[in-house]
A and B are shown apart, each in its own frame.
Chain A
Amino acid sequence: MASKVKIRGKLSGTIAKVKFLIPHPMETGTRRDADGQVIPAKYIETITLYKNDQVVMTANWGASVSKDPYLSFQINNSAAGDVIKVDWLDNQGESGSGEITLK
């Protein structure tokens, strides 16, 4: 079940302010369900942010990033028409992405 990344971008001068939210459980692997079974760890390990297919930022995350991770980030030298894309990959190999064209 690859969920959709919600992504927003706003240009202020040449700086793009990008915000995104990834619906994801971010399970630490230490919680137990109602039957006392450990819920296996499932969390996003890597995030890659691209501007026009060029990597602008990569992030490595641990399980202690909150559920449904939200991130706000700023990108220099941006202009209208630039495509901002985010890719994520979790520890179970699931992945997803989202993109937006700056206006």
Chain B
Amino acid sequence: MKITRRQWLGSLLTLCSAALLPSRLFAASAVFSATDTQAVLDDLFAGLPIEDSDAINLRTPEIAENGAVVPVTVSTDISGVESISLIVDENPNPLSASFTLTSDSVPNISFRVKMGKSSTVRALVKTSDKVYMATRDVKVTIGGCGG
């Protein structure tokens, strides 16, 4: 059977996308299984400068009575936000959630996380050329990982 150039290119393309897809999925789960904050930061924001910012409003309780349900709100005035990530330093896997936004998203997200013990919580707001960070310390009286 003679293979035309078009067929060959087509199969090459299929092969490439097949090879690309799982590696992307793998990358996402790998960063979630990282066990220290620095590894998460390196993986998520390779090379981008990270600076502390007052323009991020990270709201958490100061003392969380129940570590299984800690409400977190991240909002910001920064424009051009590409993603918002939340890291809990002392959790076995610090990266908790990463939200990828579009131009139709308002950078204002509330959700709830589990915390194993008292920890620093970081909100990271990524724009095209910089990462902004806000941190809060949260005290946990009952851990949420069911130990």
Q: Establish whether residues B105 and A62, one from each chain, have CB atoms under 8 Å apart when the complex forms.
A: no
Among B99, B100, B104, B114, the residue within 8 A (CB) of A64 is: B114
B146 touches A31 (CB 8 A): yes
In whole Å, how far is A46's beta carbon from the nearest beta carbon of chain B? 8
**Interface size range of chain B in the complex:** 20 to 34
A73 to B100, CA, bound (A): 12
Picked from B68, B91, B95, the residue with its CB within 8 Å of the CB of A66 is B68
Q: A75 to chain B: closest CB distance in Å?
A: 6
Interface of A is mostly: strand
Contact-residue size bin, chain A (C-beta under 8 Å from the other chain): 20 to 34
Query: What is the 8 Å Cβ interface bit string for chain A, positions 28-63, against chain B (1 contact, 0 not)?
Result: 101100000000000001000001001111111111
CB proximity of A72 to chain B, nearest CB, Å = 4
Contact of A75 among B88, B95, B105 (CB under 8 A): B105
Q: Which of A45, A64, A76 contacts B105 (CB 8 A)?
A: A76
B96: min CB distance to chain A, Å: 5
Tell me, in angstroms, the Cα distance from A59 to B97 when the chains sit together: 7
Verify A59–B104 contact, CB threshold 8 A: no
Q: How far is the CB of B88 from chain A (nearest CB, A)?
A: 7
A97 to B28, CA, bound (A): 21
Does A15 have its Cβ within 8 Å of any Cβ on chain B? yes
